Amino acid sequence: MPNTKEIAATIRVDGSVTLEVDGRVETLATTRPEDARREVVQRAGIRAASLGRPVPVIVTEPDGAVQLVVATDGSVTVVEDTHPAPAPADTPVPNACARRCRAGQRGPGRRGGHRGTG
């Protein structure tokens, strides 16, 4: 039976990422957080396709965490986002990881991002 554990990713301020899959830890040498997010989603999509089922992913960043499900077609569904609530419109704040993860796969400027398939 396939392992049902999630993929855990920790993205650091410098853009590097530690990825844990099935107890194996790998450090990816990305230099920007947006590149790290794209890499995490891409690898999760490959994993989901190889397993033939969606894969849960936990992404932790300095400003919070997000729980995603990446489907076999690479689409992303946000399950839970623990980043701080957005500040009022006149206060600049960083985008939430969930938005960035979706934008990382589809490209910047596309609101709404991926739609999960289940």
Q: What are the beta bridge partners of residue 111?
A: none
Write out pLDDT tens, residues 68-111: 999 999 999 998 877 666 656 555 444 555 555 555 544 444 34
Helix (H, G, I), strand (E, B) or coil at 111: coil
* Residue pair 98/78 in contact by the 8 Å Cβ criterion: yes
User: Domain spans of the chain?
Assistant: 7-106
Write out pLDDT tens, residues 16-69: 999 999 889 999 989 999 999 999 999 999 999 999 999 999 999 988 899 999
pTM: 0.67
